[in-house]
Amino acid sequence: VGKIIGEDYELLTTTGFPEEKIVQTVEDIGIDMVFMGAFGKGGFREFFLGSVTSFVTHHLTVPVLLAKSRDRLSAGRNT
C-alpha cells in the first residue's frame, strides 16, 4: 500500500503469537499505521474480523487498515 501511494513503508517479520507480536512491535518501534487482513477462522465475532485482527484493533491506538480477501471468502463455498 505504501508503495502504491508513494509513502515510505517497511515490511517486518517476527515469530510468536501473532496478535501479541503485532501489538508489541507497533508499540516498541512506534509504527504509524497497520495494514492487515480481516478474515479468520474463529467464532461468531471473529467470523467477521478474525481473532488476530479483533485483538489488534482493540489493543492499538494507531490506525489499522483492514482488507478482506475475495479468494478467502469464496474458498469455503460449495461449487
Domains and CATH numbers, the chain: 2-69 (3.40.50.620)
Whether the model pTM is above 0.85: no
Pairing of strands 64-67, 34-37: parallel
The pLDDT averaged over each successive group of 10 residues in the chain (79 residues) is 68 87 93 78 56 91 83 49
| 67: three-class secondary structure by DSSP | strand
Q: Which three cell numbers stand for residue 61?
A: 491506538
Place of cell 485483538: 55
Specify burial of residue 66 (Cβ count, 10 A radius: 0-12, 13-18, 19+). middle
